[in-house]
Every structure is written in structure tokens, then in C-alpha cells.
């Protein structure tokens, strides 16, 4: 029997892919067998999904086939859906099989958090995957086509975006850019189209620099976005949304970006979790199982003030790198290193040529911020796929 340890990585998102790539690089021949499991045979760049969702970019630019990322001589890839995680038995149940592991990395990503708002689960669309953003894009175009047959249905042309966090803000920026093109394509008067961004918190981009938030709202308002800030959605129906204020907005399109929770599978596996996010130890391991690591949206890492870091691509990537390093150290019997999140900053796109951001503590807006956003995207492509991937997927 082989004594080579088996590492199974669940999910090829930011966390899983970075873990896999670093293991591929660091591990020597026969040091470990690594298997990456993912629902699709592609990785997608979640931070880019607001563009294909709005239809301002091709979904192909937001995904990378896993075969182009990993070296299948070094890492096995299994395209399957995880059904159950059994940490005590060191097994993962897949839709079509079972995998045993010595070490497990859970990077299964998040799900939309609907906070129990009735109807959101059923009627709202989510910016969560290639499939879901293709659906949003097709849904939006379909509303324009349907409007031309039923011109009394103004609700076809009202687009509600729930949540004005980073995803919501980036999506309305793209959608506002797309609307004039759709109006031209379908012969629709642009004055009939409305984008309404609804946020329950007392500000858009809660927790972000107020001056930049104001800039973002001004840019987006000028592009035709209507904000309803400090306004909770009470209920979502096939006909629109009802707000806590009593107001009803008729719309056949609700895109929900209002919250993210971890994956239900980690709760079902019995890990100590808050809304599907597992509280990990300083080495990114679950508190119950030293051989199970959690990275990305399913993990909960606290900052120095004891508050959880928001789940971002940046956090997931750094976790993937740290997780791989600790796995290698474990296998080699070397000491583990604590994970420290290094917050480099954040940039949010507001549509073509417009963005806001804080990078290494420096505020920026407009073209400069948009350029920085582009650089961050290219840097990511470079990190995971080197120059060839930058050339293939990076748009200049």
C-alpha cells in the first residue's frame, strides 16, 4: 500500500486553484497525491462576473479551463459535484463516486444569503457563476424583446439590483453602460428604462471610504441609476419587490447581490460554522480536524479587532497560498506558519473607464482607478497562468 499522503481539494475557485497551483509547484515527485474536484471543468474569475452578467463582456473572458491551469501529470482533476463531506471517515461523497483523503482543503465557495426575505430565493437572479450570469444576460435581453411585443409592460424595462456592496455597484455600473446599446438594438426609448439599486444599510458600499462612496454614487446617478439606500426589501414576487417603506416597484428582473454565506455542505459536515463559514485556526484548519483546511468564502478569519474579514478574492488567494505552504510543511514535518491577511486594497469598477479604490492606503478615482482595476485583473491572470494566460484572457 502506498504511504504517499492524499490531498483532496474541493472547489476550483480562488482558494482552491491557488492551493493546487502552489502544491503543484512546491511538492516533489511522490511527496503527495493531489486531487482537485470541481463542479465544472473551468475556473471562473468571480470578480469579473458583473461584466458578462450585464452583457458588456463575453462570459468566455471570465473563465479558464482547468486543463489550461493545472498540470495533469502532477494533479488529478475530477469533474464532479460534492454531495457530502465526512471528516471523521476522511471521505468525500461525490455525485458519482467517493474520494478518500488524508488532507482535505475545502474551497467550495459561497451561496447567496437572502436573510430570509420571502421570494428572493425563488425569483431573484444571482451573480455567482458562469451559468448564472449567462442567465442574467439572456434574461435582460429577453425583457427588451418582450417589451416590443407588449409596450404597456414598463416593468419589463425596470431592473432592480438588490444590494449596493461591491458586486451590486460594479453590476449597475456595467448595466448602465449596456442599456443604451440594448435600446438601440431593440428600438427602445432609453427614457423608459430604469435601474434601481436598493440597499438596506444606511450607505452604499458599507464600511468603505465615504468620500469615494459619494463619488461612486454621483458617477452612477449620472449614468441613470436610481439609488434607494437605507431601504430594505420586504418581499420579492414574480412582479417586483415590496419595500419596507411600503413602496412597491414593478419589475420582472431582480438581481440579488445583497449577501454571501458559506456553503451549506460545511454546516452539514458538522464543522463549527457561522452562516456556512467555518471558523479556522491560525493555520487555516478547522478546530475539530487538523487535517481539514478551509479557504475562501467558506472560511471565517478574524481581523485584529476580532471581526471577520469580508469574503473576497484577495483573501481567498492569500489563504490558498498559505494553505499550500502549511500542507507542504505538515507533510515534511516542518513547523506551520500562521496566516496573516495582507490587505493590499480594493478597487471597484463603475463601468467603462470609471472606478474608485484604495490601494496601499491611497485613494483613487476615475481613469486611474479603472487602470488599477485592470492591473489587478492582469496580475491575477499572471499569478495563476503566467504570461500565456495574460495574453489569452487579458484585454488591453
Q: Residues 206-217, buried b or exposed e (16+ Cβ, 10 A)?
A: eebeeebbebbb
| Alpha-carbon torsion, ordered 304, 307, 311, 312, to 10 deg | -40
| CB 158 to a copy of itself: min, Å | 18
- Residue 186 touches a copy of itself, criterion: CB under 8 A: yes
Site map (CB under 8 A) of a copy of itself, residues 37-56, x = contact: ---x----------------
170 is catalytic: yes
- Residue 79 touches a copy of itself, criterion: CB under 8 A: no
Q: How far apart are CA 275 and CA 111, in angstroms?
A: 10
- Residue 67 touches a copy of itself, criterion: CB under 8 A: no
Cα–chain center distance at 216: 21
Phi, psi (deg, nearest 5) at residue 238? -60, -20
DSSP state of 296: G
Tell me the CB-side half-sphere exposure of residue 61, using CA atoms within 13 A: 19
Catalytic residue among 26, 89, 150, 170: 170
Note whether 268 and 175 are within 8 A (CB): no
Query: How many binding residues for a copy of itself (CB under 8 A)?
Result: 17
Please say which residue, 149 or 395, places its beta carbon nearer to a copy of itself. Answer: 149
Q: How far apart are CA 178 and CA 181, in angstroms?
A: 5
- Which of 84, 100, 122, 131 contacts a copy of itself by CB under 8 A? 131
- Which of 67, 71, 115, 148 contacts a copy of itself by CB under 8 A? 148
Which residues partner with 35 through β-bridges? 8, 76
Print the SS3 string covering 62-114.
HEEEHHHHCCCCCEEEEECCEEEEECCCCEEEECCEEEECCEEEECCCCEECC
Q: At what angle do helices 130-149 and 166-186 cross, to 10 degrees?
A: 40
Note whether 199 and 208 are within 8 A (CB): no
| CB 214 to a copy of itself: min, Å | 36
| CB 249 to a copy of itself: min, Å | 23
- Residue 135 touches a copy of itself, criterion: CB under 8 A: yes
- Residue 139 touches a copy of itself, criterion: CB under 8 A: yes
Please say which residue, 42 or 293, places its beta carbon nearer to a copy of itself. Answer: 42
- Residue 83 touches a copy of itself, criterion: CB under 8 A: no
Please say which residue, 151 or 386, places its beta carbon nearer to a copy of itself. Answer: 151
Note whether 255 and 124 are within 8 A (CB): yes
Q: Grid coordinates 495533469 are at which residue?
A: 72
- Which of 1, 30, 116, 149 contacts a copy of itself by CB under 8 A? 149
- Residue 156 touches a copy of itself, criterion: CB under 8 A: no
- Which of 146, 250, 352, 374 contacts a copy of itself by CB under 8 A? 146
Please say which residue, 83 or 232, places its beta carbon nearer to a copy of itself. Answer: 83
- Residue 132 touches a copy of itself, criterion: CB under 8 A: yes
| CB 146 to a copy of itself: min, Å | 6
- Residue 192 touches a copy of itself, criterion: CB under 8 A: no
- The residues that touch a copy of itself, with contacts defined as CB under 8 A, are 40, 131-132, 134-135, 137-139, 141-142, 144-146, 148-149, 186-187
The catalytic residue positions are 170
Amino acid at each position: 500500500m502506498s504511504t504517499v499522503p492524499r490531498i483532496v481539494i474541493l472547489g476550483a475557485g480562488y482558494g482552491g486553484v491557488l492551493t493546487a497551483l502552489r502544491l503543484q509547484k512546491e511538492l516533489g515527485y511522490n511527496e503527495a497525491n493531489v486531487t482537485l474536484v470541481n463542479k465544472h471543468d473551468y475556473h471562473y474569475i468571480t470578480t469579473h462576473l458583473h461584466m458578462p452578467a450585464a452583457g458588456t463582456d463575453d462570459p468566455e473572458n471570465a473563465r479558464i479551463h482547468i486543463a489550461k491551469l493545472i498540470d495533469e501529470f502532477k494533479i488529478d482533476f475530477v469533474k464532479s459535484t460534492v454531495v457530502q463531506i465526512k471528516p471523521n471517515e476522511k471521505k468525500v461523497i461525490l455525485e458519482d463516486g467517493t474520494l478518500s483523503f488524508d488532507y482535505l482543503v475545502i474551497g467550495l465557495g459561497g451561496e447567496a444569503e437572502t436573510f430570509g426575505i420571502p421570494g428572493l430565493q425563488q425569483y431573484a437572479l444571482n451573480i455567482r457563476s458562469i451559468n448564472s450570469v449567462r442567465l442574467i444576460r439572456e434574461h435582460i435581453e429577453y425583457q427588451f424583446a418582450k417589451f416590443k411585443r407588449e409596450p404597456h409592460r414598463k416593468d419589463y424595462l425596470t431592473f432592480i439590483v438588490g444590494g449596493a456592496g461591491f458586486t451590486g455597484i460594479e453590476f449597475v455600473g456595467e448595466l448602465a453602460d449596456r442599456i443604451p446599446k440594448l435600446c438601440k438594438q431593440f428600438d427602445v426609448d432609453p427614457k423608459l428604462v430604469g435601474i434601481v439599486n436598493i440597499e438596506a444599510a444606511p450607505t452604499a458600499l458599507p464600511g468603505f471610504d465615504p468620500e469615494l462612496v459619494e463619488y461612486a454614487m454621483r458617477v452612477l446617478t449620472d449614468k441613470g441609476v436610481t439609488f434607494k439606500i437605507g431601504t430594505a426589501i420586504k418581499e420579492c414576487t414574480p412582479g417586483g419587490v415590496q419595500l419596507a417603506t411600503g413602496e412597491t416597484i414593478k419589475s420582472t428582473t431582480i438581481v440579488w447581490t445583497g449577501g454571501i454565506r458559506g456553503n451549506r455542505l460545511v454546516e452539514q459536515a458538522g464543522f463549527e460554522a457561522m452562516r456556512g463559514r467555518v471558523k479556522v485556526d491560525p493555520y487555516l484548519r478547522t478546530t475539530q480536524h487538523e487535517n481539514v483546511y478551509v479557504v475562501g468564502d467558506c472560511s471565517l478569519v478574524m481581523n485584529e479587532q476580532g471581526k471577520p474579514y469580508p469574503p473576497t478574492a484577495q483573501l481567498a488567494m492569500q489563504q490558498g497560498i498559505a494553505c499550500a505552504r502549511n500542507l507542504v510543511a505538515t507533510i515534511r514535518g516542518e513547523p506551520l506558519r500562521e496566516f496573516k491577511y495582507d490587505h493590499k486594497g480594493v478597487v471597484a469598477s463603475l463601468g467603462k473607464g470609471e472606478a474608485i479604490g484604495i490601494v496601499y492606503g491611497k485613494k483613487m478615482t476615475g481613469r486611474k482607478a479603472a487602470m488599477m482595476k485592470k492591473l489587478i485583473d492582469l496580475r491575477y491572470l499572471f499569478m495563476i497562468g503566467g504570461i500565456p494566460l495574460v495574453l489569452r484572457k487579458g484585454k488591453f
